[in-house]
Amino acid sequence: MIPKDVRERYDKLKRTIHRYRTARHVHDREEISIEAEDALKRELAHIEEEYPSLIGPDSPSQRVGGAPLPAFKKVRHKVAQWSFNDAFTPEEVREFDARVRRFLAKRIGKAEPTYECELKIDGLKIVLEYEKGILKTAATRGDGRIGEDVTHNVRTIESVPLSLERPIDVVVEGEVWMSARSLEELNAQRRAQGKPLFANPRNAAAGSIRQLDPKIAASRKLDMFVYDLALTSEAFPPTQLEELAYLRELGFKVNPHRRHAKAIDDAIRFWEEWKPKARTQEYWVDGIVIKVNERRFEEALGFTGKATRGAIAFKFPAEQVTTVVEDIVLQVGRTGVLTPVAHLRPAEVAGTVVSRATLHNEDEIRRLDVRIGDTVILQKAGDVIPDIVRVLPEMRTGREKPFVWPKRVPECGGDGAIERVPGQAAWRCVNKDSFAVVRRRFHNFVGKHALDIEGLGRERMDMLLEKGLVQHYDDIFTLKEGDLLALEGFAEVSARKLIASIQNARTVELARLLVGLSIPQVGEETAILLAKRYKTLDDVAAASEGELTAIEGIGPIVAREIGEWFGAARHRKLIENLKKVLTISNPLFAKKGKGALAGTSFVLTGTMESMSRDEAAERIRRLGGKVSSSVSKKTDYVVAGENPGAKLDRARELGVSVLTEREFLRIVGQS
């Protein structure tokens, strides 16, 4: 016998815990603290321990319970599980709309469907069945007819109700997912245990749901969005919009981001809006799903052999594609370093067509075992340069050719001799003054990160070098309009404009000039460190290796390269000649340690609307802040514009503060 007051207390505890669970995990609303909710659960567990006959399948204590299963049972779905056809371009989506209208016209006459647009969550599809409001089974999609019973694991997900708000029979469909932060914690544990890491949240969610021990799934902090009502003992809502509200009313967690589209172009705009925001969520989003909103139209459309006619998955541009390596060529850089570049069969990845990808160095070619003719996986994430991440050896035909690193490279000039850079994986030209190297240096000198001479692009710079009008950097500033008129493509107006641009570039900041000099190992960030530490170019030239190494961010290899470069007699002469034609300022040294952002480190990712990333970096530096190219624990802020890349994911992993463009502008504006 169970005392009446105990039963009443138990029922109230169960209802109260359910209420607070729903508020927290379904509506993202914290009505009481987790500690207080845990105290209620402990009290309920004590009562169940004394009166075990009270325990039912909807008890909060049953989220984690029972021994590990020996194997998964098979479950036949009450409602067949269909998939979506995919679209990748607006044209394909408009064709989907046209097909819908044509099909409806044949079936029921002229119709004007509207659409409900929802985010396509990249997780694991699960089908939930409730009888009289109590969770009966949770199953994977399987082949669409038969799935695997994973109820024991799905019960551990707090956002999945064990009982509904009404005692009805329903079958619903949704996506189980894991947040990036939970993945980071899980991989940290697996790394410590020497176990293989999960590649992404989708794989981690699928691996967690397919555990035979529910305690493992419970430890992995899974979540679930429900997006479709397959069966109900009540009347079906007449539209998809009302169906989502119905699901939420029953106690399911429904994704809040959606759009009602009266016309298909409204749906395309929703896709355009979410394309750059996909990776800003804690869950993975790989596109949107466009569904015919009206249920009567959806039922009239029916299904094809594998997919519904009334919906389509509009995918975001792929970040990984396969393509073929057609050739591997060596590119000579501004310091004479040779970079192997794969020439690819053109492929669209992350919204852009790519036909080139760097292979970095000889060691990387060996690591990948990439050969000419290989089928490879090409990856591009956000603002990251396209990269070959894997070769598919199973696609080889036997006609692929291994790349043989040459002993001589004609572009290096002279006898074309090359040498391995001491202590590095790179090779470089022995002759550091070949035309290929020199032209790269000049491209860098006049480029946007250095003197930024408008109108003097690579083709024009090459023309000046080939005609002998320019041999040294300072020669650029002695050019006259008449010198240019004899060159192809120049008229009086264009010649006058270029000379004006050259004259405007005579005043240059020290950091930009250091970038333009093509000193080995000195890029934009190192140049800024030097400009903050030394007031003039002569001060930099006179610095010892010991002094340079003492600067945070400059190591012994970089210090040695700087010392050797400034120690060469021809470079000292180059500096003297440049000082005659340039006015060199250094605002970074003048504001050293005094700016409002002094001591603060930023990383920029994505595209900003109000300014370029270079301009944003300049604002930060003028205020005393530091801009880094990679995210670390020392980073204070990551500024995320549109189409942010892997840097945003890394910031979330490390718990670094992320600023929107508006928040960033507020900071630099106030400063």
- The answer to whether 328 and 372 have CB atoms below 8 angstroms apart is yes
The rounded distance, in Å, linking the Cα atoms of 545 and 344 is 42
Residues 6 or more apart whose Cβ sits within 8 Å of residue 457: none
Identity (one letter) of the amino acid at 469?
A: L
Mean of pLDDT over the chain: 86
Domain 320-409, CATH among 2.60.40.10, 3.40.50.1820, 2.40.50.140, 3.40.50.620: 2.40.50.140
Identity (one letter) of the amino acid at 610?
A: S
Angle of the 435-446 helix axis to the 458-466 helix axis, nearest 10 = 130
Q: Which of 243, 19, 247 is nearest to 130 (CA)?
A: 247
Choose the weakest-confidence range: 57-66, 117-126, 163-172.
Answer: 57-66
Three state DSSP letters for 72-86: CCEEECCCCCCEEEE
Residue with token string 């209420």: 19
Q: Which two tokens stand for residue 231?
A: 């069966």
Residues 6 or more apart whose Cβ sits within 8 Å of residue 455: 494, 497, 498, 501
Q: Where are the alpha helices (DSSP H) in 109-222?
A: 151-154, 180-192, 201-209, 214-218
Task: Express as a percent the part of the chain with pLDDT over 70.
Answer: 95
Whether 148 has a pLDDT exceeding 80, the answer reads yes
Whether 351 has a pLDDT exceeding 80, the answer reads no
Averaging pLDDT over each range in 110-119, 360-369, 376-385, which range is the top one? 110-119
Q: What is the pLDDT of residues 529-572, one digit of tens each?
A: 898 888 899 999 999 988 898 887 788 889 999 999 999 888 99
Q: What is the pLDDT of residues 637-646, one digit of tens each?
A: 999 887 777 7
pTM attached to this predicted model: 0.52
Whether 596 has a pLDDT exceeding 80, the answer reads no
Identity (one letter) of the amino acid at 255?
A: N
Question: 592 in the Ramachandran plot: left (φ > 0), alpha (ψ -120 to 50) or beta?
Answer: beta
Q: Where are the alpha helices (DSSP H) in 210-355?
A: 214-218, 240-250, 264-274, 295-301
Beta bridge partners of 308: 303
Which of 14, 120, 125, 275 is the catalytic position?
120
Q: Where are the alpha helices (DSSP H) in 69-213?
A: 90-108, 151-154, 180-192, 201-209
Q: State residue 383's pLDDT score.
A: 47
Residue with token string 């790394």: 191
The model's confidence at residue 598, banded by pLDDT at 50, 70 and 90, is confident
Q: Which of 516, 521, 340, 332 is nearest to 430 (CA)?
A: 332
User: Quick one: 509-590 is in which CATH superfamily?
Assistant: 5' to 3' exonuclease, C-terminal subdomain (1.10.150.20)
The rounded distance, in Å, linking the Cα atoms of 85 and 313 is 6
Q: Which two tokens stand for residue 189?
A: 């544990």
What is residue 40's three-state secondary structure? helix
Q: State residue 256's pLDDT score.
A: 93
Q: State residue 65's pLDDT score.
A: 53
Q: Which two tokens stand for residue 208?
A: 């967690």
Q: Which two tokens stand for residue 445?
A: 């000198």
Helix (H) or strand (E) holding 137: strand 134-140
Residues 6 or more apart whose Cβ sits within 8 Å of residue 7: 54
**Architecture, CATH, for domain 4-63:** Orthogonal Bundle (1.10)
The model's confidence at residue 339, banded by pLDDT at 50, 70 and 90, is confident
User: Quick one: 601-670 is in which CATH superfamily?
Assistant: BRCT domain (3.40.50.10190)
Q: State residue 241's pLDDT score.
A: 94
| 120 part of the active site | yes
Q: What is the pLDDT of residues 243-299, one digit of tens each?
A: 999 999 999 999 999 999 999 999 999 999 998 888 788 888 989 999 999 999 999
CATH of domain 435-505: 1.10.150.20
Q: Extract the annotated binding site for Zn(2+).
A: 412
Domain 83-315, CATH among 2.30.33.40, 3.40.50.300, 3.40.50.1370, 3.30.470.30: 3.30.470.30
pLDDT mean over 428-450: 85
Q: What is the pLDDT of residues 454-501, one digit of tens each?
A: 999 988 998 888 777 887 899 899 888 877 876 777 888 888 899 999
Q: Do the two domains 4-63 and 320-409 of this chain adopt the same fold? A: no
The rounded distance, in Å, linking the Cα atoms of 523 and 192 is 36
Q: What is the pLDDT of residues 547-557, one digit of tens each?
A: 898 887 788 88
Q: Which two tokens stand for residue 358?
A: 């760097």
Q: What is the pLDDT of residues 32-82, one digit of tens each?
A: 877 778 788 888 888 988 998 998 888 888 776 556 667 788 989 998 888
Q: Which two tokens stand for residue 3?
A: 């005392």
- The answer to whether 160 and 224 have CB atoms below 8 angstroms apart is yes
The rounded distance, in Å, linking the Cα atoms of 198 and 205 is 9
Could you tell me the residue ranges of all domains in the chain? 4-63, 83-315, 320-409, 435-505, 509-590, 601-670
The rounded distance, in Å, linking the Cα atoms of 218 and 223 is 11
pLDDT mean over 132-150: 90
Q: State residue 671's pLDDT score.
A: 46
Beta bridge partners of 321: 378
The rounded distance, in Å, linking the Cα atoms of 400 and 532 is 51
The rounded distance, in Å, linking the Cα atoms of 201 and 178 is 5
Residues 6 or more apart whose Cβ sits within 8 Å of residue 489: 460
DSSP characters over 434-474: -HHHHHHHHHHHHSTTTT--TT--HHHHHHHHHTTS-SSGG
Averaging pLDDT over each range in 234-248, 266-280, 331-345, which range is the top one? 234-248
How many Å from the N-terminal Cα to the C-terminal Cα in the chain? 72
The rounded distance, in Å, linking the Cα atoms of 518 and 336 is 10
pLDDT mean over 400-406: 91
Q: Extract the annotated binding site for NAD(+).
A: 83-84, 118, 141, 175, 291, 315
Number of Cβ within a 10 Å radius of residue 193: 7
pLDDT mean over 494-521: 91
Q: Extract the annotated binding site.
A: 83-84, 118, 141, 175, 291, 315, 412
Q: What is the pLDDT of residues 599-618, one digit of tens each?
A: 788 999 888 888 888 788 88
The rounded distance, in Å, linking the Cα atoms of 531 and 587 is 9
- HSE at residue 481, side-chain half, CA atoms within 13 A, is 8
